[in-house]
Amino acid sequence: MQETSTIPSTTRVPRNRGRIVGPKPPLKPKHIWALRTRLQLANRTRDLALFNLAVDSKLRVCDLFRLRVSDVHLGDAVRLRATVCQQKTGRPVPFEITEPTREALADWLTSRSLRAGDWLFPSRSRRSQHLTTRHYGRLVDQWVALIGLDPAAYGTHSLRRTKVALVYKRTGNIRACQLLLGHTKLESTVRYLGIEVDDALILSEQTEI
């Protein structure tokens, strides 16, 4: 009887195995305040500044970590507004810096004595480099776990979506959301926010003529 040899196949394990695939939901206002409180109590100065700025700026991770101190700080104070040229589209996108974020950034800059040309969030292990996307992902996992949320259900885009999702919910102004996200096409904003036909009908029903 002829023997047949079998060659073991190597099965590649997906990077997202065990994680929820698809758009990650934004954080709710109660989550924002709970997380700010936990980070403040833990004296995590950098994390608080990073978290607040991520929510305010609505920037992609690649743009968030390319920020220099001079992008958000002028003279002896943190700016009220800033504008960043997006790496993906090359187009400028403005964002506001709210008071809680300005306070957190001021504390962070004071604690590290960072100069105007320094990365706003420098790496602690790689000299002259900024934080990495992978490190940020781990931080987001830690943050949401702090307030009892499932890290698998949220991601870095949850923070990018958070504020603009509230803007859309309160105003229904998709064009404003497009400008805040820096999208070149309105269709991209519709997909990004997960706007469905039912959402449009609800807005239409609330508009009286």
Q: What pLDDT sits at residue 18?
A: 47
Pick from 67, 52, 61, 65: which is nearest to 24 by CA?
Answer: 61
CA dihedral 20, 22, 28, 32 (to 10 degrees): 70
The two tokens of residue 152 are 């698998």
Distance of CA 187 to the CA centre of its chain: 20
Instruction: Please report the DSSP string for 18-74 in residue order.
Output: TS--SPPPPPPHHHHHHHHHHHHHTT-HHHHHHHHHHHHH---HHHHTT-BHHHHEE
- Whole-angstrom distance, CA of residue 193 vs CA of residue 162: 10
Residue ranges of the chain with per-residue pLDDT less than 50: 1, 3-5, 7-9, 16, 18-21
Answering whether pTM is above 0.95, one says: no
Q: What pLDDT sits at residue 9?
A: 47
Q: What pLDDT sits at residue 154?
A: 95
- Whole-angstrom distance, CA of residue 71 vs CA of residue 37: 26
Q: What pLDDT sits at residue 22?
A: 56
> pLDDT digits over 23-39, tens only?
789 999 999 999 999 99
- Report the run of H or E that residue 193 belongs to, with start and end: helix 186-193
Q: What pLDDT sits at residue 20?
A: 45
